[in-house]
């Protein structure tokens, strides 16, 4: 929970686990909101902490194309919440003077996962029960966007995430993550799968022979 095992702020290879074949490159970033006395990401023993949210972003390119994936993990301050209200539906980035809008790759509603939990405070004085939620969405990145991200100035950047309930959240992206975009999108800078690259040639229409002209009577 909270993406603790992810290698943040650096580019790593995506590999086929059986034969270790490289399939792409990705870099990850994380933003945590909320507060907890023990100072951990999601509470002690990796348990959710009430009032905490984690926004994890994955940036990269694979054989199939380029992507940005946003994962949201949310533990309401008390009780339950409407999980359909936290689905990310639009990602905006400010790169220099450019405002970039990234829509989702699919119109289908992403899956929502939930888990009930109990959380005991750091001093053991209070136990809270609640429900932890997680959802995700993958956003469109074409070759033009990938080039802009790869050439982005190496500095802290901000993204704006729109949720399905209309709420907007500003998410800081660490300078090290921004610097890693260059290598993350270098695996497939065209952002197209091999079949998509070959498709236009195979579907190209053959020139048709000219039709014989009809003779007209004088």
User: pTM (2 decimals)?
Assistant: 0.80
Domain assignment present for 44: yes
**159, 171 in Cβ contact below 8 A?**
yes
Domain assignment present for 196: no
Q: Tell me, what's the pLDDT at 2? A: 53
Domain assignment present for 141: yes
Highest mean pLDDT among 18-32, 67-81, 116-130, 164-178: 164-178
Domain assignment present for 42: yes
Domain assignment present for 199: no
Domain assignment present for 216: no
pLDDT tens for each residue of 73-93: 998 887 788 888 899 999 999
Domain assignment present for 122: yes
Domain assignment present for 15: yes
What is the domain extent for residue 76? 11-187
Burial of residue 178, with CB atoms counted within 10 A of its CB: 0-12 exposed, 13-18 middle, 19 or more buried = buried
Question: Residues 191-198: what's their mean pLDDT?
Answer: 76
Q: Look at the chain and report how many structural domains it folds into.
A: 1
Structure tokens at 180: 């890693």
């Amino acid at each position: 929970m909270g993406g603790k095992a992810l290698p943040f702020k650096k580019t790593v290879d995506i590999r086929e686990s059986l034969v270790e074949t490289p399939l792409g490159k990705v870099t990850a970033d994380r933003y945590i909101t909320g507060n907890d006395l023990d100072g951990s990401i999601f509470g002690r023993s990796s348990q959710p902490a009430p009032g905490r949210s984690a926004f994890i972003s994955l940036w990269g390119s694979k054989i199939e194309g380029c992507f940005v994936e946003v994962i949201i993990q949310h533990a309401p301050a008390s009780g339950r919440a409407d999980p359909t209200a936290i689905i990310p539906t639009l990602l905006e980035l400010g790169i220099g003077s450019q405002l970039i809008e990234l829509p989702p790759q699919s119109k289908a509603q992403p899956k929502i996962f939930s888990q009930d939990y109990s959380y005991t405070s750091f001093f053991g004085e209070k136990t809270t029960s609640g429900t932890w939620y997680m959802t995700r969405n993958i956003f469109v990145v074409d070759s033009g966007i990938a080039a802009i991200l790869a050439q982005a100035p190496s500095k802290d950047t901000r993204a704006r995430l729109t949720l399905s309930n209309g709420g907007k959240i500003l998410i800081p992206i660490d300078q090290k993550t921004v610097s890693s975009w260059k290598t993350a999108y270098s695996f497939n800078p065209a952002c197209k799968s091999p079949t998509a690259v070959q498709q236009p040639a195979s579907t190209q229409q053959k020139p048709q022979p000219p039709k014989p002209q009809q003779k007209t009577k004088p």
